[in-house]
């Protein structure tokens, strides 16, 4: 195996499996997608460390363990349509593309979207559609979605995005109110209502545009 192939295998065996990630389809996706192609060139040598990697402007490729546990809880099926919010360079979108029928990767930064397109082409992934638009609005044109996945923490899930979740759909996000620990959360639409369940703690960085609203002082 090449150095990167060895690193991918080590990531699965030392980061994912020990943290209760057991879904074979998901583990195979992590072995298939080349994380080094989704990070800046100067970070490619450390692409498989067990931490988030910076993309600039406050954006990150998520820590593999956090992304894997969220995706496992989402139980992505082959017939699903997914929305990836804050897709960045497209790593999480590529992982979901291995599992789902189609993926919309929503990204508002043109440079990150360009890099995502290049990496997806390198993997010959045609089931991901890149949409360049403001993140808090989601992408209603392709709604409803069976899975919505946030590539970063949010202070709260915007109602506009939650409304794009299909009946029975699963929305995955790390919710955090400030600089402390966040809570990886599964939100499921059941009829007209939403049910939320906290899965585990995570230190995922907040996505720009999804910071807590300033408190008013009187």
pLDDT in tens, 14-60: 999 999 999 999 999 999 999 999 999 999 999 999 999 999 999 99
Q: How many domains does the chain have?
A: 1
Domain membership flag for residue 218: no
Domain membership flag for residue 210: no
**CA atoms within 13 Å, Cβ hemisphere of 137:** 10
Query: Strands 59-61 and 53-56: what pairing?
Result: antiparallel
Domain membership flag for residue 217: no
Domain membership flag for residue 166: yes
Domain membership flag for residue 38: yes
Domain membership flag for residue 93: yes
Domain membership flag for residue 153: yes
Which CATH number fits the domain that encloses residue 70? 3.40.50.150
User: Model-level pTM?
Assistant: 0.95
Could you read off the pLDDT of 129-173 as tens digits, one per residue? 999 999 999 999 999 999 999 999 999 999 999 999 999 999 999
> Collapsing DSSP states into helix, strand and coil, what is residue 152?
strand
Domain membership flag for residue 161: yes
Checking phi first, is residue 99 left (phi over 0); if not, alpha (psi -120 to 50) or beta?
A: alpha
What is the domain extent for residue 108? 3-202
Could you read off the pLDDT of 47-94 as tens digits, one per residue? 999 999 999 999 999 999 999 999 999 999 999 999 999 999 999 999
Q: What angle do CA 72, 171, 27 make, to 5 degrees?
A: 15
């Amino acid at each position: 195996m090449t150095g990167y192939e060895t690193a991918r295998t080590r990531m699965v065996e030392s980061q994912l499996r020990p943290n209760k990630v057991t879904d074979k389809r998901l583990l195979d996706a992590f072995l298939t997608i080349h994380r080094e192609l989704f990070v800046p060139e100067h970070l490619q040598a450390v692409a498989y460390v067990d931490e988030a990697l910076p993309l600039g402007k406050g954006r990150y490729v998520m820590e593999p363990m956090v992304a894997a546990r969220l995706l496992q809880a989402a139980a992505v099926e082959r017939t699903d349509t997914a929305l990836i919010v804050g897709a960045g360079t497209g790593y999480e979108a590529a992982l979901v593309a291995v599992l789902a029928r189609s993926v919309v990767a929503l990204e508002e930064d043109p440079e990150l979207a360009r890099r995502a397109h290049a990496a997806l082409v390198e993997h010959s992934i045609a089931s991901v559609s890149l949409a360049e638009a403001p993140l808090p609005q989601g992408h209603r044109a392709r709604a409803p979605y069976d899975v919505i996945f946030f590539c970063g923490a949010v202070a709260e899930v915007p109602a506009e995005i939650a409304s794009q979740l299909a009946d029975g759909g699963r929305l995955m996000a790390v919710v955090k109110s400030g600089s402390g620990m966040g809570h990886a959360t599964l939100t499921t639409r059941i009829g007209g209502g939403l049910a939320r369940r906290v899965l585990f703690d995570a230190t995922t960085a907040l996505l720009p545009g999804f910071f807590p609203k300033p408190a008013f002082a009187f």
